[in-house]
Structure 1
Amino acid sequence: MHTTGQHAMRTIAFAALLLAGPSQAQEQMTWLMSDFPPVTIPVNGAPTTGIADQIVRYLAAHWGHDDHSYVYANSKRTWVMLEQGAKACFVAALRTPERERSAYFSNTSLVPPPVLVARADSLAGLPLNAAGEVELAQLLAMRKYRGAIVENRSYGKQVDAVLAQHASTANIERTSIGDYGRKVLMMVARNRADYTFDYDFALAYAQSVQAELAPLRTVAIARNTQAVVAGVACPRTPWGQAMIRKIDRILGTPQGAEILMRAQDTWLTEAGKQRYRSQMLEFQRQRSKPTADADYR
């Protein structure tokens, strides 16, 4: 059995190889993956049936004759690699203006925005509006509540902005872990934190495999109603631009759009699909053709 330290050393060594000059590793197409069910459900280091898994498997099947490798890394390591120009692309990256400064994107998914996750016994004390939505700025100002989030993970434009505004005042623990949030959910369930943020479908999946998470509930965040865009991110380099163009050619067809829609339909909650169905169908319509060249600049 390999230790955590050995695994970290292998990840760092592989990252250095991707950043190095011409080598055999560069003849492969390397996909950076998150360990984030049901977005990704890795088995023996390979993608299976998760949302991003289905997308990357479709890309690999239509790529050509290149070999494909899959590297699972946490959010912090992934974005350090992309910012340094590693010859690898990240599947299922939440698209934000900040990230667009260091990566090119090809949109793949439109999903309901993240929600607040808290224990059922703490809901009564949360600052809720008349619609039952949590007022996030007010919550962050309440020092008695302890939040927990994953370092370098984006929770969508609205939540990210409020978190940034309260970075120095909110009682929030930022943790750098490899699984994008399952351990954070466990922290909330075990009363080591009072709340976190995640997707409702991610919590639903986690609760289906971990009975200890049963007491957790979701609460909509006030004014956080816009669906978020995820996609494949490649480094903002000539190599990355070429890869994004190739990815977009593969996905920008009716068949590609159908695969993308099917991938997310597999795991989204019924409530999420019903509320955002019209937006998702419009996204699929636009995704069925190649992206305009201006989006690659």
Structure 2
Amino acid sequence: MRAGRLLSVLLLLQSRGRMTATELAEELEVSVRTIHRDIEALSGSGVPVYAERGAAGGFRLLDGYSTKLTGLTEAEARSLLFSGIPGAATELGLGQVLAAAELKVSAALPGGLRTRADQVRQRFLLDQRAWFRTSEEVPHLIEIADAVWAQHRIRVRYRRWDGSIVTRTLRPLGLVLKAGVWYLIALARHGEPRMYRVSRVHRVHTLEQSFDRPEDFDLREYWFARDEELRSRLYQGYAVVRLSARARRMLHLLSAIPLGEHQLSTLLAEPDGWTTVRLPIESHEHAVAQFLQLGAGCEILEPVELRERVIAELAAMGQVYGAGEAPTTLSRRPS
């Protein structure tokens, strides 16, 4: 967004002093021409920015202008990192702090930029929660986040995926919010960083022991490498299925199948609108539950074992619902 970039230019000039157009362009990943237009926009909005010529030249603000953004506390400065995701700031206990920080920044902006910032806030909203799903309870998130900031070890009681409870002493390296779910990335006593779902943490005790973060650890790199690893390890099998047009449109409901209609590996398109496709699956057990959501619009062709499991499941469902029998009316129990 241009309004956000203009604010970034302003803050960069205030925090670093003189900067060339090339330096600003590299920092914000835009062209030098875009930076020149942004400087003109800032100047036109009343920001006292001017250019210095020569080999050591660049753009800078009028001396003293940067003092307009003083007064931010350390907590407020941290909270600005979450200005695009207010829900996350609230869960981290930074909701009121973020509001105070945004107010101070807004008050320091020239009138033109303040209006632009208000317009962006009224027109764009990021909601990281999934539709029709209740948010997970994360009562220990704030304490864990404090340990991440302070680099303190924590001892946690953690419920694993199989329901068992374990006690772990961790060195918390970072927190990741993905699709409304918080994950802790931490080092246990030995080995590589591991991922822990924060909602499964039953108890947290912050220890007095601090720790040094691994110098080569990068949270962003770790997360996306882990995400790719999980995908490749999770979907190791394939199924060949026939899908009706309606079933193809419903594929987005299958959370265990990371493909949309435009990404299907089509094997055969039939005149009646049905299509034979090849889809990745996690396991036969998961695939049965997923494909049954598509109802009669899905026929599994391969593997044979998966087809037979679906047939068996449908037969069992038929017995539950009395398939082939005359429909009966439930009698009302006497009061």
Q: Normalised by the shorter chain, which TM-score bucket?
A: under 0.3
Which of 1 and 2 has higher RCO (CA within 8 Å, sep 6+)? 1
- With the length of structure 2 as denominator, give the TM-score of the two structures: 0.19
- With the length of structure 1 as denominator, give the TM-score of the two structures: 0.21
Q: Radius of gyration: which is bigger?
A: 2
